Amino acid sequence: MITTPTAVTALQELGVALKDLGYTFTTVTPATHARVNRRPRNALARDLRDVLGWSRPFDPGTLPGRIVELMDAAGVLDRSGEHWRSRVRFSSYDGELFVHSAFPTDAPDSVFFGPDTYRMADAAAAHVERLGRPVRRAVDIGCGTGTGAITVAKRAPGADVLGVDINDTALRFTEVNTALAGVANVKPCHSDLLSGVDGDFDLIISNPPFMIDPAGRAYRDGGGPEGHGLSLKILDAAKERLAPGGSLVLFSGTGIADGRDPLRAAAAQSLAGTDLEWEYREVDPDVYGEELDGAAYAHAERIAVVVLIATRR
């Protein structure tokens, strides 16, 4: 799937065709997605949004012929079952379309897009807009669909913006999404955190996996007993690579137990004695409530999503 330049070009053309047709879609949480798709009337797709947003199976003739041709050329049309399926979805944000993995995101190289993507990109956009100083060089760590990198690039057109990830599928999706958005200053790069790129940055943004995931799925598992191991590694990387006056905007999540936030406590310990000023706030105090039924979050009273902003003095 999407392994050749021709396939990447076809996926870009598919996105352009969807834009021309006025396609839009807001992606919900996996739990909401599953609930809505379980309704009997949603067993089969009836239109573009059903196929390329809700990931519902469909019969030949449901979609315009040109859309089917482009899906075929991009390698994202699955004809293997009783009904056809799309291997990708397209979602809307900030006036753009973003391609990402189909639901459910079970494959090891799945590229996730959802409500946290919107929240992270909003936080990055707001930070750039209130900076009061130009961004020369920026990086989106674990860029996934490239939404964060593209959001920054649109608001800092003079900046060199890197989208780094260890997932080659994510980098291909970032390439497609960058082309769809028409931004020329985003470069996808293969890198484990910042190990594969050089130099300092005026802005580092990231929305890493932050869940405690017993299955260990790379796009979801944040690492460590509390799920914030990767978030802390990104914080460590920022301490080393932020330029003077540069900022980290880290969007993450944490399980709150007995009123205590373990990510905030760990971040405070990590930042103690550094030249970084920081702020930390909950963006939503209660998300992914269905996870509280599982053993991984049996200790938690709620799961919150948070933003940490650290700035080098």
**Residues 187, 83: one domain?**
no
Of 71, 101, 131, which closes a domain?
Answer: 101
Q: Which residue, among 125, 123, 117, has the nearest Cα to 147 in the 3D structure?
A: 117
**Residues 144, 270: one domain?**
yes
**Residues 193, 262: one domain?**
yes
Distance, CA of 218 to CA of 253 (rounded, Å): 16
Of 101, 134, 169, which closes a domain?
Answer: 101
Q: How far is CA 84 from CA 50, 77, 80, in A?
A: 12, 7, 7
Of 101, 127, 157, which closes a domain?
Answer: 101
pTM: 0.95
Strand partners, 249: 205, 309
**DSSP for 225-281, written as a single string:** TTS-HHHHHHHHHHHHHEEEEEEEEEEEEEEEBTTB-HHHHHHHHHHTTSSEEEEEE
**Residues 96, 136: one domain?**
no
**Residue 87 covered by a domain:** yes
Distance, CA of 301 to CA of 294 (rounded, Å): 12
**Residue 24 covered by a domain:** yes
**Residue 110 covered by a domain:** no
**Residues 84, 195: one domain?**
no
Domain span at residue 48 reads 5-101
pLDDT score of 2: 62
**Residues 125, 239: one domain?**
yes
**Residue 35 covered by a domain:** yes
**Residue 129 covered by a domain:** yes
> 159-187 pLDDT, tens per residue?
999 999 999 999 999 999 999 999 999 99
Pull the structure tokens for residue 268.
């405070």
Domain total of the chain: 2
Give just the sign of the alpha carbon dihedral 239, 313, 152, 268: positive
**Residue 108 covered by a domain:** no
**Residues 127, 220: one domain?**
yes
Q: Residue ranges of the chain with pLDDT lower than 50?
A: none
Parallel, antiparallel, or unpaired for β 276-284 and 85-86?
Answer: unpaired
pLDDT score of 87: 97
**Residues 184, 96: one domain?**
no
**Residues 190, 45: one domain?**
no
**Residues 144, 244: one domain?**
yes
Q: Where are the alpha helices (DSSP H) in the chain?
A: 5-20, 30-37, 48-52, 65-74, 115-130, 147-155, 168-181, 229-241, 262-271
CATH number at residue 191: 3.40.50.150
Pull the structure tokens for residue 301.
């009273």
- Phi, psi (degrees; rounded to nearest 5) at 201: -135, 140
**Residues 156, 95: one domain?**
no
**Residue 109 covered by a domain:** no
pLDDT score of 4: 72
CB neighbours (10 Å) of residue 107? 14
**Residue 122 covered by a domain:** yes
**Residues 42, 177: one domain?**
no
